[in-house]
Structure 1
Amino acid sequence: MKLFSAYRVLALVVGVLLAFCTVVALMKYLLPDGSSLQQFGSDASVMWAVHGWVFMIYVVVAFLLSRRAGWTPQFTILALVAGLVPLLIFWVEHRVAARVKAENPELAGTA
């Protein structure tokens, strides 16, 4: 799989996992103790570990892509931390895709 494609898939997976984990955390801590949804939130908290592992892979792939594409340090940092703020990664992935396609079409496979 190409680096750009791997980045896009990982960004999507990290974003979905983070959104899910955020909802799970809200269920776990804000709903009445013992309710079925609160229990589901508690049981599904293990997904934070899954998000963490996938996020680490995402960071490596995003960093490698940033070096190949010649991004500024600021844009690189934005791409790297996007998976820590719920829903931000979807906007950042869109910006990354547009930038790579415009500035480095050979990385996007469109050249």
Structure 2
Amino acid sequence: MTLYHAYRGLAYVVGVLLAVCALVALPLKYLLEDGSTLQQLGSDISFLWVVHGWVFMIYVVVAFLLSRRLGWTPQFTVLALVAGLVPLLIFWVERKVAQRARAEDPELAST
């Protein structure tokens, strides 16, 4: 597995985890009546925040290494690094990274 493919896989995992946490677990846990079944579900799946945090740390390292390999600008590097902190943004950034990788290093993106 190449660095590029590791980045793409991690981006999807981080994005899905953040979306589930922010758009499902958080509203269920804090916006519903205490003790309800759905509120309990939100509370039960809140452990995914911890999973997201650990996977996000790996994502940051891989994204940084890929940015050095492909010679991204500091602005684009920062965007890629923080994309996993804003729900759904990471999916757009991952597409931009894929487009750049194909344009700048077709061999890296094709393997």
* TM-score, scaled relative to structure 2: 0.96
Which residue number corresponds to residue 16 of structure 1? Answer: 16
Which residue number corresponds to residue 66 of structure 1? Answer: 67
Q: Distance in 2 between matches of 1:82 and 1:89?
A: 5
Which residue number corresponds to residue 56 of structure 1? Answer: 57
Query: Any gaps of 5 or more consecutive residues in structure 1?
Result: none
RMSD: 0.9
Q: Distance in 2 between matches of 1:69 and 1:75?
A: 11
1:1-53 CA-partner distances (Å, limit 9, x unpaired): 10000000000000000001111011100111111010010111111000000
* TM-score, scaled relative to structure 1: 0.96
Instruction: Give 1:106 shift.
Output: 2.4
Query: Any gaps of 5 or more consecutive residues in structure 2?
Result: none
Instruction: Give 1:87 shift.
Output: 0.3
Percent identical: 75
One-letter identity of the residue aligned with 1:15: G
